[in-house]
Amino acid sequence: MSLPILTRATLIAAVRRALEPLAFVHCLWEGGSTCFSRADEWSDVDLQCEVDDDRVTDTFAAVEAGLGRVAEISLCFAVPEPAWHGHSQRFYRFANAEPWLQLDLCVMKRSAAYKFNEPEIHGVAGVLFDRSGLFGKNVVRTDRDALEKRLRARIAALRTRFAMFQVLVEKDIWRGNPIDALHFFSGVTLAPLVELLRIKHDPLRHNWGNRYLHRTLPPADAALLQSLMYVATPEEIPAKRAAAAAWFEALAAELDARPRLVPPA
């Protein structure tokens, strides 16, 4: 007998049913686009939980057993560890769901220093249960003065890095290596430009790269950035690199002149 089509609500409920009775699981919440009221029909399910340090493997096993009652797992990707965030993470795809209705499950040890429970950065979490107070007494508040100092230092580092490495784009143009030139254009020209744009318009999420950028930038900036990002032919790279460099320098000067980069709470 085949399983019914999996829905977002059924998927979330199955994980909650699997974890809430377990004493070693202390908190379960939904992250991602839901935290910013941006979930749509193509959104996946981002679930995060806090567990006893020695029960990470048990947590994944419990979730997978619970999923087996409502879903057929067709693909699972375990993020190689150590992951960039220091937690354990798996992605699941299901045979009885549309391919975009995936589960992104991040399991965090209770001793972990940081658990993405900073609402000013990660939005308002959809808390399913919270026995440890992660989103109550233990919620993390952004230290805006410390962030201000980090961003000032970051801008200085970006300016030096930008000036140092633009030649990597140019010399591969001269060599007639358009693939390499495009690689460096993306990495050493556009990436720092994007970071400055984020510092200007969304300093709390300055290191989020292109994620949600189309919603973050003013329409004119978004249109200009899009025009620089899409390169139709190798011949377009020199002019677009020069335009991006001029924009970068103007942004850096503007940010340096600002009395404050991070607004008060």
The first and second tokens of residue 33, run together, are: 């686009």
pTM of the predicted protein model: 0.90
**d(Cα 256, Cα 193) in Å, to the nearest integer?**
15
Domain ranges (residues) in the chain:
8-130, 144-257
Cα→Cα distances 21→140, 176, 248, Å: 26, 62, 52
Residue 237 is predicted with a pLDDT of 97
* Residue 235 DSSP label: G
Residue 138 is predicted with a pLDDT of 86
Nearest to 97 by CA among 46, 59, 43, 49: 43
Residue 2 is predicted with a pLDDT of 78
Q: Are 104 and 33 in contact (CB under 8 A)?
A: no
Fold of the domain spanning 8-130 = Beta Polymerase; domain 2 (3.30.460)
**d(Cα 207, Cα 199) in Å, to the nearest integer?**
8
Residue 87 is predicted with a pLDDT of 98
Nearest to 45 by CA among 72, 88, 96, 11: 11
Nearest to 126 by CA among 31, 264, 58, 54: 31
Residue 1 is predicted with a pLDDT of 53
Q: Across the beta sheet with 25-30, what order do the strands follow? A: 73-78, 88-94, 103-109, 45-51, 25-30, 126-130
Q: Residue-wise pLDDT tens for the chain (265 aa)?
A: 578 999 999 999 999 999 999 999 999 999 999 999 988 999 999 999 999 999 999 999 999 999 999 999 999 999 999 999 999 999 999 999 999 999 999 999 999 999 999 999 999 999 999 999 999 988 899 999 999 999 999 999 999 999 999 999 999 999 999 999 999 999 999 999 999 999 999 999 999 999 989 899 999 999 999 999 999 999 999 999 999 999 999 999 999 999 999 999 8
The first and second tokens of residue 163, run together, are: 């000036």
